[in-house]
């Protein structure tokens, strides 16, 4: 293990958004949304560098004003509604490598839509990656519903989503405690080894869970979601400093 891990924090923040216009600059307790992620990342001790990958000059200006690097603007073809994370990461690696020969050990994915993320969570996830050297450390949260109890619609009728012998034998009315625990990606902080991204994946094969605090998870897809997030942040004492 190297004495110093080059952990590159990347906050991807494109200018467009269908659900909430200009979402990444939308006010949250008086600050643009993206600022909360920048501030917590800057307090983290484990990040070697912190950059914002954006196609938007205004987002770039706000990011720089709050201490993040914006060493390039992302091309429009990498800022569409359906652009996945992988090409955004690969573009950042190319730009940083070509400009200054910077080659990180790992990419730390910090989505701006998780404003309650803490510096401690970032440091814990990076520390877990350093100890395990997994392909990826992925933040997860318990799944709210289990597919064992789910249905799909087929020609106007409900059929079990899981068509397995066990499901047919037991039916849907089983205690939740008897079902295998399942998890969803929390999107709070993910750490992926650089070589995995270069090989064309954001996960790889060896994925280790980081169990994010479910009480700090938010989903910002509407103006109402922002109101809920503000109430939660106040309740958690995050109303003054991010």
Query: Which domain does 171 fall in, by range?
Result: 147-177
Q: Are residues 47 and 64 in the same domain?
A: yes
- The CATH number that applies at residue 60 is 3.90.550.10
| Size of the chain, expressed as the number of residues it contains | 242
* Residues 99-117: tens digit of each pLDDT: 889 999 999 999 999 999 9
State the Cα–Cα distance between residues 38 and 36, nearest whole angstrom.
5
In a domain, 240, yes or no: no
Q: Are residues 11 and 93 in the same domain?
A: yes
pTM of the entire predicted model: 0.92
Q: Are residues 65 and 173 in the same domain?
A: no
Q: Are residues 108 and 200 in the same domain?
A: yes
Q: Are residues 23 and 125 in the same domain?
A: yes
In a domain, 213, yes or no: yes
> Mean pLDDT per segment of 10 residues, for the chain of length 242 residues?
81 91 95 97 98 98 98 96 96 95 98 96 98 98 91 95 87 85 96 98 98 88 93 82 44
- How, if at all, do strands 183-193 and 157-160 pair? unpaired
51 close to 70: Cβ distance less than 8 angstroms: yes
State the Cα–Cα distance between residues 206 and 188, nearest whole angstrom.
19
Q: Are residues 194 and 173 in the same domain?
A: no
In a domain, 74, yes or no: yes
Q: Are residues 151 and 120 in the same domain?
A: no
Q: Are residues 130 and 72 in the same domain?
A: yes
Angle at which helix 33-43 crosses helix 119-132, to 10 degrees, equals 50
In a domain, 37, yes or no: yes
In a domain, 24, yes or no: yes
Predicted confidence at residue 92, as pLDDT, reads: 98
In a domain, 241, yes or no: no
Three state DSSP letters for 123-183 = HHHHHHHHHHCCCEEEEEEECCCCHHHCEEEECCEEEECCCCHHHHHHCCCCCHHHCCCCE
């Amino acid at each position: 293990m190297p004495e110093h891990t080059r952990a590159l924090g990347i906050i991807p923040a494109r200018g467009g958004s269908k659900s909430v216009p200009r979402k990444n600059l939308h006010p949250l307790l008086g600050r643009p949304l993206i600022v909360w992620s920048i501030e917590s990342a800057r307090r983290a001790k484990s990040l070697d560098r912190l950059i914002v990958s954006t196609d938007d000059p205004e987002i770039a200006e706000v990011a720089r004003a709050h201490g993040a690097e914006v060493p390039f603007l992302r091309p429009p073809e990498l800022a569409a509604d359906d652009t996945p994370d992988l090409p955004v990461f690969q573009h950042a690696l190319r730009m940083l490598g070509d400009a200054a020969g910077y080659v990180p050990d790992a990419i730390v994915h910090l989505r701006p839509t998780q404003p309650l993320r803490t510096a401690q969570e970032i440091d814990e996830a990076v520390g877990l990656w350093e100890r395990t050297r997994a392909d990826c450390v992925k933040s997860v949260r318990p799944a709210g519903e289990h597919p064992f109890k789910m249905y799909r619609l087929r020609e106007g009728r409900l059929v079990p989503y899981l068509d397995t012998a066990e499901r047919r034998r037991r039916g849907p009315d089983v205690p939740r405690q008897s079902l295998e625990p399942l998890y969803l990606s929390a999107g709070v902080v993910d750490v992926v080894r650089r070589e995995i991204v270069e090989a064309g994946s954001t996960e790889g094969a060896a994925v280790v869970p980081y169990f994010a605090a479910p009480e700090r998870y938010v989903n910002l897809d509407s103006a109402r979601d922002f109101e809920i997030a503000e109430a939660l942040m106040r309740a958690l004492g995050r109303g003054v400093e991010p």
